[in-house]
Chain A
Amino acid sequence: MSNLLSSIVDNYNYLIYIILMMIGLYAMIAKKNLVKKIVGMNVLQTAIILFYVSIGAKKGATIPIIQHGHGEGAHEMGASVIKAAEYINPLPHVLMLTAIVVAVATLGVALALAIKVYDRYQTLEEDEILAQIREK
């Protein structure tokens, strides 16, 4: 029992991302409103961004900038001083900058499409749209 509890506490970041991801997927599957589905899609993307950001973080570590480490002499000095455990891993964070841009672009395209759908059917409820299509 204490094992389970400690593994939950140690890995709470993974738990949160899984819960968020499930909320997003649930909204996309179960909701009938097209905009709610788009919101679910964004929650799903944000969950994955959170996952990536959390894997780069370390307890007690600082931002990956070497103080007074500029110029020629820094490399010789740096090799002896730098301990990787003292700095967070910046790579996942940089990757997520790109992923955020992708998420924004997807959101924009999805909302634009939702506007076009609304223009055609005068509603954003999926079942009403399907009923309209079936009537024709």
Chain B
Amino acid sequence: MSQHFPALLVTVPLLSALLISIVGWLYKRLCFPIAVAALSVTAYSSVGLLLSVMHEKEILYRLGGWEPPWGIAYRVDHLSALVLVVVSVVGLLNLIATQKSIQEEFPEKTGAFYTLYVLLITGLLGIVVTGDVFNLYVLLEITALTGYGLIAMGEEHAPLASLNYVYMGTIGACFYLLGIGYLYISTGSLNMADIASILPGLYDSRVVLAAFIICMVGVCLKMAFFPLHTWLPNAYTYAPSAVSSLVAPLMTKVMIYVMLRLMLTVFTPVFTFSRVGLSDSMVWLAVIAIAMGAVLALAARDMKRMLTYVIVAEVGYMVGGAWLGNRAGMTGAILHIANDALMTLCVFLAVGNIVYKVKGYAFKDLQGMFRKMPYTMSGLVAGALSMVGVPPTCGFFSKWYLISGGVQAGQYGFVAALIFSSLINVILFFRIIEIGYYEPFGADHGQGSSRVRTAEAPLTMVIPLLIVAGGLVMMGVYTGDIVAHVIAPVVPPALGN
């Protein structure tokens, strides 16, 4: 059983998606339990994979028994095992947390919704687990297509936002496909490990350089790296809250994983950091991304849009950290994939609970919220503290690694941008807390505050939120262990100590 975990990760949700779409016609109530069962299997398998990877270093799964490079191989190392656990756990928690709001928002479409939801998770897990660059493209498109569908189920402007996402996402995927084509011309292989073993003789080839740059442009479009972020704020704001809290933590983070995979495994670190010569410009682009994300978040006029610009800034953190080209920066970037997924999930779940109760996410809807929904707001505060980077939440530790990486590399612009963005986050989240705590709820200002009763979201929504909020602290407390056992083996020795 356990040796088939890599295949189960993809096949179980894929077949369940088919099952859900059939069952959805007849028994709508069965859709949710099937989805939970499928995602529980994936969560169990990915945790099992993480544990066995710690002993064995790397797991190679040959689909259909074909030897790589002819057959498609699934390859799990420490980095992919970590991201697998993040994706499957976030997917499962969000599925349970959003059940009520999905029932309320689309009572007629639950079958379609859960089919797309499970397919999206299939695509994300497949991207992480695959060891073949073309297979990655196909799974990338599965993820993107289901994402377009899910986002378009949202409120008024959602189809337009989703259509803009289709345009940008397709250009991104096409660039990635073109880059692989160039790589295939020069190496004749599509298997990641095989390409990496052929490439050293071709480091001076201009085709390989073009392949690298084209792939990077495509991936940067997909991960919404400023200035290619324009599709993200509208798409994530207008999406249903259950979808926002799924795609916001996972999509951009998995794309960061793809970038790291390309940088570290396909094109080896030697090529990426010493032959391409783009490190400095990428770090400066990340600086601009962080600064612009922070400023645009400050200008946003509702909570969801503000958070989407925070995501744009966070993408800048991870890209910048990865391109610093030293051990601390890379550690920070990888750690931040997990941490950022958790804290984005935390704040978006809290916003989802508020939307469920108040039917709005404008700043004024937050008035008196601390009395009305105390647990939801404490979850939001935990997520906010982590985004600001207050110890012992995990956001502090990844930011610490990123900053020390920036200092070691002498990139003081990056360090300044990180600190600037943290300060802006303080303003952003304390504004929310101020409105929620000090401004009274409802029409009768000044005197009505004592009359506000608690009207908390249902327990199935609050408990997952509090689990995630607790997870933020746990991740922070165990940062040392995670870095030593999971992240340290991933960072290539070429990056020094």
CB atoms of B181 and A51 under 8 A apart: yes
CB distance from B155 to the nearest CB of A (A): 11
Q: Is B163 an interface residue (CB 8 A)?
A: yes
Q: Is B171 an interface residue (CB 8 A)?
A: yes
Q: Is A110 an interface residue (CB 8 A)?
A: yes
CB atoms of A45 and B159 under 8 A apart: no
A59-67, A71-79, A111-119 - interface stretch: A111-119
CB atoms of A113 and B163 under 8 A apart: yes
Which residues in chain A, 12-47, are within 8 Å of chain B measured between CB atoms?
25, 28, 34, 37, 41, 44-45
CB atoms of A28 and B167 under 8 A apart: yes
CB atoms of B141 and A51 under 8 A apart: no
CB distance from B133 to the nearest CB of A (A): 11
Please give, as numbers and ranges, the residues of chain B lying within 8 Å of A98 by CB-CB distance. Answer: 134, 138
Q: Is A105 an interface residue (CB 8 A)?
A: yes
Are A102 and B152 CB-contacts (below 8 A) given A28-B167, A110-B163, A129-B160? Answer: no
In the docked arrangement, what's the CA distance between A37 and B231, Å? Answer: 15
- B126-165 CB contact bits vs A (8 Å, 1 = yes)? 0000000010011001000100110010001101101100
In the docked arrangement, what's the CA distance between A41 and B141, Å? Answer: 14
The secondary structure that dominates the B interface is helix
Q: Is A5 an interface residue (CB 8 A)?
A: no
Which residues in chain A, 96-136, are within 8 Å of chain B measured between CB atoms?
98-99, 102, 105-106, 109-110, 113-114, 116-117, 120-121, 129, 133
CB atoms of B177 and A99 under 8 A apart: yes
CB atoms of B152 and A44 under 8 A apart: no
Q: Interface size of B by Cβ–Cβ distance < 8 Å?
A: 25
In the docked arrangement, what's the CA distance between A113 and B170, Å? Answer: 14
Q: Which of B134, B163, B178, B181 contacts A34 (CB 8 A)?
A: B163
Q: Is B166 an interface residue (CB 8 A)?
A: yes
CB atoms of B184 and A92 under 8 A apart: yes
CB atoms of B166 and A110 under 8 A apart: yes
- B237-280 CB contact bits vs A (8 Å, 1 = yes)? 00000000000000000000000000000000000000000000
CB atoms of A114 and B167 under 8 A apart: no
Q: Which of B134, B162, B181, B185 contacts A48 (CB 8 A)?
A: B181
Q: Is A57 an interface residue (CB 8 A)?
A: no
Q: Is B60 an interface residue (CB 8 A)?
A: no
Q: Is A95 an interface residue (CB 8 A)?
A: yes
Q: Is B495 an interface residue (CB 8 A)?
A: no
Q: Is A87 an interface residue (CB 8 A)?
A: no
CB atoms of B184 and A117 under 8 A apart: no
Q: Is B174 an interface residue (CB 8 A)?
A: yes
CB atoms of A41 and B181 under 8 A apart: no
Are A28 and B171 CB-contacts (below 8 A) given A48-B181, A98-B138? Answer: yes
In the docked arrangement, what's the CA distance between A51 and B149, Å? Answer: 29
CB atoms of B145 and A95 under 8 A apart: no
CB atoms of B148 and A109 under 8 A apart: yes
CB atoms of B145 and A106 under 8 A apart: yes
Please give, as numbers and ranges, the residues of chain A lying within 8 Å of B178 by CB-CB distance. Answer: 48, 51
Please give, as numbers and ranges, the residues of chain A lying within 8 Å of B162 by CB-CB distance. Answer: 113
CB atoms of B174 and A45 under 8 A apart: yes
B178 to A, closest residue via Cβ: A48
CB atoms of B141 and A106 under 8 A apart: yes
In the docked arrangement, what's the CA distance between A108 and B489, Å? Answer: 43
Are A41 and B185 CB-contacts (below 8 A) given A110-B163, A113-B162, A117-B160? Answer: no
CB distance from B139 to the nearest CB of A (A): 11
B134 to A, closest residue via Cβ: A95
In the docked arrangement, what's the CA distance between A98 and B185, Å? Answer: 18
In the docked arrangement, what's the CA distance between A48 and B141, Å? Answer: 15
Please give, as numbers and ranges, the residues of chain A lying within 8 Å of B171 by CB-CB distance. Answer: 25, 28, 41, 44
Please give, as numbers and ranges, the residues of chain B lying within 8 Å of A105 by CB-CB distance. Answer: 141, 145
CB atoms of B163 and A117 under 8 A apart: yes
Please give, as numbers and ranges, the residues of chain A lying within 8 Å of B185 by CB-CB distance. Answer: 55
CB atoms of B170 and A41 under 8 A apart: yes
CB atoms of B167 and A41 under 8 A apart: yes
In the docked arrangement, what's the CA distance between A69 and B485, Å? Answer: 53
A119 to B, closest residue via Cβ: B159
In the docked arrangement, what's the CA distance between A106 and B184, Å? Answer: 24
CB distance from B175 to the nearest CB of A (A): 9
CB distance from A75 to the nearest CB of B (A): 16
In the docked arrangement, what's the CA distance between A48 and B177, Å? Answer: 8
CB distance from B332 to the nearest CB of A (A): 34
**Closest 6 pairs (CB-CB, A-B):** A116-B159, A113-B163, A102-B141, A110-B166, A117-B159, A113-B159
Selected A-B contacts with CB under 8 Å, 25 pairs: A37-B167, A41-B167, A41-B170, A45-B174, A48-B177, A48-B178, A48-B181, A55-B181, A92-B181, A92-B184, A98-B134, A98-B138, A102-B141, A105-B145, A106-B141, A106-B145, A110-B163, A110-B166, A110-B170, A113-B159, A113-B166, A117-B160, A117-B163, A120-B157, A121-B160
A34-B163, A106-B141 known, 10 other contacts, Cβ within 8 Å = A37-B167, A41-B166, A41-B167, A45-B174, A48-B178, A51-B181, A109-B166, A113-B152, A117-B160, A120-B160
Q: Residues of A at under 8 Å CB distance from B?
A: 25, 28, 34, 37, 41, 44-45, 48, 51-52, 55, 92, 95, 98-99, 102, 105-106, 109-110, 113-114, 116-117, 120-121, 129, 133
